[in-house]
Amino acid sequence: MVLLRLDSHALSRSRFALSPLAETLGAAIALSRPCTDPWLAPWHARHQAAFRAVLDADPFARGMVALIGSTKYLPDHVSLSPPDGMRTRLHDELAQMALVPDQALGKSLRLAVEASWERHDLGAWLTGRNWAARTAKLFQRLWDTHLAADWPRRRALLERDVSYRAGLLAAYGWPRAVERMNRHSAWVGADAIRFSNRPGHDRVVGPQGMLFVPYTRAARGSWLCEAPGLPYALVYPARGTGDRPSVRPGTRDQALARLLGTGRAAILRALERPATSSELAAELDLSLGTVGGHLAVLREADLVVGERTGRRVVYRRTDAGEVLATGATAMPDTGTPLGGRPDGR
């Protein structure tokens, strides 16, 4: 079991952050693998051709993406802590990435190869110099092609997750705020977060605190960013998806709409991640009164429940609502964790 140990100073200075770099990393990993998530299928299909064209034209890009998509140890240069909290820009993260020297990067890549479940020949593609700068250029291209146009919507989804957890923090403290950030995360004792159930050494978080960074669930898993001089950052999948689900004839979504009505079905689907009525109204482009009326019906049917966190009421699906919306009896598994230090691996 891997624990992140935080003293009182670390707790008081821990905070949430956003990372376009983490979003790009998650998208690259998702596009490098077959799509098994129906929520992501439309996005995955739209971007596959352009993604493959980039990899086919550049052996370095192909080798780097293949490695980060098939290892339990993400190379350090792609898993750096965001430098500016909620205002972090990709430009600044890539500038930070480009500074990693080849010697350090080579060592990190070899560790990633050792932790991979596939065979990799670094010598076949790790040629030339300035590998970190070349990776930064690749990530910029992936961002421009696959994410930039959709970033405002994705950012809103991530901010909604942060808002929800910040409300839990204000009302109940860090133990509730970190609950279910990944499959194993939980507060342990008086001063520690359980990051993983797997064997590994504990980390001691210093007085600068640590960052909690959501990303849309284009990939699955969570990872720990750690580098000298930077705070630890736990990157975790926000509850929700990286693409708008479409309602197709004959799908479960269409059947749900016939059963509950289009508006109530949309709200139940949107509550894959807890939200306030105002957040639901903004996301679904509905009036606040309409959302309130639908929520009242869903509450009476015991499909959703509202919990007060500070001055806000945050709605979530009940177990019955989860079954009706997804057919699952528990929150969907976020998959095998990834990681710069993935679940301590």
* Helix, strand, coil percentages for the chain (3-state, nearest 5): 50, 15, 35
Full-model pTM: 0.75
Strands 304-309 and 223-225: unpaired
Rounded CA gap, 263 and 269, in Å? Answer: 10
Token pair recorded at residue 174: 């860090």
pLDDT at 297: 94
For the stretch 163-184, pLDDT in tens is: 888 877 877 788 888 877 877 7
Rounded CA gap, 215 and 78, in Å? Answer: 14
pLDDT at 246: 46
For the stretch 311-331, pLDDT in tens is: 778 888 888 888 888 775 443
Rounded CA gap, 163 and 169, in Å? Answer: 10
pLDDT at 176: 81
SS3 275: strand
pLDDT at 344: 41
- For 284, phi then psi, to 5°, come to -95, 0
The structure tokens 């009036």 sit at: 287
DSSP string of 180-225, one letter each residue? TSSSS-EEETTTEEEEESSS---EEE-TT--EEEEE-TTS---EEE
In terms of DSSP H, where are the helices of 100-130?
102-114, 122-125
Token pair recorded at residue 129: 């110099």
pLDDT at 340: 61
Rounded CA gap, 75 and 266, in Å? Answer: 39
217 within 8 A of 237, measured Cβ to Cβ = yes
pLDDT at 58: 97
Domain 252-326 adopts which CATH fold? Answer: Arc Repressor Mutant, subunit A (1.10.10)
Token pair recorded at residue 125: 């593609």
Neighbours of 282 (CB within 10 A): 15
Domain boundaries along the sequence of the chain: 2-241, 252-326
Strands 211-215 and 223-225: unpaired
Alpha-carbon dihedral of residues 55, 61, 66, 72, nearest 10 degrees? -150
CA 234 from chain centre, in angstroms, equals: 10
Q: Enumerate residue ranges in the chain where pLDDT < 50.
A: 241-249, 329-338, 343-345
